[in-house]
A = this chain, B = another copy of it.
Amino acid sequence: MMHADIDFLRELNKPGREELARAFLPHTYAKKSLMFSPRDERDAVFIITKGRARVYLAYEDKEFTLAILERGDVYSTHTRAYVAALQDTTIMSAETVHIHRQLLRIPEFTGTMVRVLGEVLRHSISIIDNLAFRDVEKRLRSFLAFECSRAGADQPGGGTLLDLGLTTEHLASLLGTTRQTLSTILNTLSRSGLLEMRGRGVFFVPAVEALDEERPAG
């Protein structure tokens, strides 16, 4: 998101907008510093005037990036996300409550906000896709590898036979997914030769190591 110049700041400097302009104060943050966190009480909007910032959700040591804000991008501190400076970064910020109504009447502001929110939303949906669907395969593979090491029967001709004693439905609920999603993933693993389905809850795994391997994200 690059901008040759910042339309919104130019709009703020127009006659009749003195009061609104005065509500915006500059702040500078050193590279890598945390600018806003979900624990902040503040509800402010800000515009990046210099540098770059990362908006992300954090769950202990797991993080999901929602957006990289660049010069001219507008965002709010009130979205339960963290914002951290990727470089030395300067912003202009104002308390939302004071300026909300006036801001929403400036197309240069709302237009930028729509673009940034659209970008954040696209990233959020990708994260949900990943969490809801693609991570299930990884969990299934780890689970089956664990069960093979724990309860699998090594076969004379090689490979391991695993009798989980679980219906697809129960296995799906164990993995936090649906029966349909699980069936799709099992079929994929089967087609790629990582396992053979031998009826109700019984699997033949030619090579347990291959099942539990980290693969590049699809």
Which A residues fall within an 8 A CB radius of B?
57, 59-62, 64, 76, 79-81, 104-107, 110-111, 113-114, 117-118, 120-122, 124-125, 127-129, 131-133, 135, 138-139, 142-143, 146, 150-151, 165-166, 173-181, 184
Contact = CB atoms under 8 A, between A and B. Distances in A.
Q: How many copies of this protein are present in the complex? A: 2
A163 to B, nearest CB: 10
5 contacts: A59-B129, A110-B113, A114-B117, A127-B128, A139-B176
Contacts of A62: 132, 177-178, 181
Nearest to A115: B104
Contact of A151 (B117, B150, B174): B150
A124 B118 CA distance: 12
A40 to B, nearest CB: 15
A135 B59 contact: no
Contacts of A151: 150-151
Contacts of A178: 59-62
Given A79-B122, A104-B111, A113-B114, 16 more contacts: A57-B132, A59-B132, A59-B178, A60-B178, A61-B178, A62-B181, A79-B125, A105-B107, A106-B107, A107-B107, A117-B121, A124-B124, A131-B132, A135-B176, A139-B175, A151-B151
Contact of A128 (B128, B142, B181): B128
A46 to B, nearest CB: 15
Contacts of A125: 57, 79-81, 124
